[in-house]
Structure 1
Amino acid sequence: MANNFKDINTVAQGNTKRLQKTIPETMKSFKILQDSAYKAGALDEKTKEFAALTYAIADKCEGCIGNHVNKLIKLGASREEIAEIAGVAIVMGGGPGSVYGGKALQAYDDSIDS
């Protein structure tokens, strides 16, 4: 089992590719939905990624946490911003949110420390 977010991301990406090979039409449709949902509109892309990270933490999805943290890093998010979003997720997810909020900071640290 992976515990470093670089490894977690690699595993998650491999699993996504596995699904793309097996159910290509479904995954193509899902990608179109993702692109549409995350496209800047009334909210910018960074704000939408913060919303997604909050849900990923509250829902305890490590692959999602790693993915959204990486996107947020590319969009210029700071460690402090990730920590504050983790705080919101703790409110939404209770005790498990505090564990997975810490994982969001771990994902940030793992990505920056390379």
Structure 2
Amino acid sequence: MANFNDINTTAQGNTKRLVKSVPEVMKSFKDLQEAAYKDAALDTKTKEFAALSYAIADKCEGCIGAHVNKLIKLGATRDEIAEIAGVAIVMGGGPGSVYGGKALQAYDDSMENQE
């Protein structure tokens, strides 16, 4: 089983490849992300929880790692990640339970690096 620190490093490297290959597309994507995650009716942390739920249900490990790391920076706890995993299980069924566990693994792996 891969460690989420490795998954995050790989995902970031792949993103850099895309930035070099299709810079206009990636700049537009970054602008879209910044606009979507701005505090408005919902705060950034709530939006990150929504994104993590979708990442789990859609089985995107790179997305799980990225959103868990953002949530850690926003002060999310392991219990909050676990509850979002529970919501994703409802939406994603059995696969949601596998990838919900991966979200907790991502949290644990990330916190291990901070110790």
Letter in 2 for 1:39: K
Find the counterpart in structure 1 of residue 38 from structure 2.
Answer: 39
Sequence identity percentage: 81
Letter in 2 for 1:86: A
Deviations 1:1-38 (A, max 9, x none): x7000000000000000000000000000000000000
Find the counterpart in structure 2 of residue 9 from structure 1.
Answer: 8
Distance 1:72 1:105 in 2: 12
TM-score under structure 2 normalisation? 0.97
Moved over 6 A (4+): none
Gaps of 5+ in 2: none
Distance 1:3 1:94 in 2: 23
Secondary structure of the residue aligned to 1:57 is: helix
Gaps of 5+ in 1: none
Root mean square deviation, CA, Å: 0.7
Letter in 2 for 1:58: A
Distance 1:67 1:30 in 2: 15
Distance 2:94 2:53 in 1: 14
Distance 1:55 1:62 in 2: 11
Letter in 2 for 1:85: I
TM-score under structure 1 normalisation? 0.98
Q: CA deviation at 1:53?
A: 0.0
Distance 1:33 1:111 in 2: 26
Q: CA deviation at 1:113?
A: 1.2
Q: How does 1:1-114 map to 2 (within 5 A)?
A: 3-114=2-113
Q: CA deviation at 1:95?
A: 0.1
